[in-house]
Amino acid sequence: MTHTPERDMLQQYLKEEYDIGTIIHYPIPPHLSEAYAYLGKRRNDYPIAEQYANEVLSLPMYNGMTDEEQTKVIEAINAFHKE
């Protein structure tokens, strides 16, 4: 997992330039989800959680991922941040 204010651009870059798929697992912070609506929390009650919901990107990571696959992801992210 990584986080960046340029999450959507990074996600698109990884897919288009390197064919690396990513997912946004938690686009809504828990306190703003329907499951916790009964708590009455509002936007800006937890600004860091809200910031991370807009920045976090789940990267490929799984048991059996080869060194080459890991290196590809690392190099692709480093290349994005150099641009």
Tokens representing 7? Answer: 């999450």
pLDDT per position as a tens digit, 12-62: 999 999 999 999 988 999 999 999 999 999 999 999 999 999 999 999 999
What pLDDT is recorded for position 1?
A: 78
Bridge partners of 23, per DSSP, are 58
DSSP string of 14-60?
HHHHH----B-S-SS-GGGSGGGGGG---TTSSHHHHHHHHHEEBPP
What pLDDT is recorded for position 46?
A: 97
Tokens representing 68? Answer: 């080459």
Walk me through the domains of the chain, giving residue ranges and CATH numbers. Answer: 2-82 (3.90.1150.10)
What pLDDT is recorded for position 50?
A: 96
Q: What SS3 class is residue 23?
A: strand
Alpha helices in 19-66 (DSSP H): 47-55
Instruction: Evaluate if residue 83 carries a pLDDT over 80.
Output: no
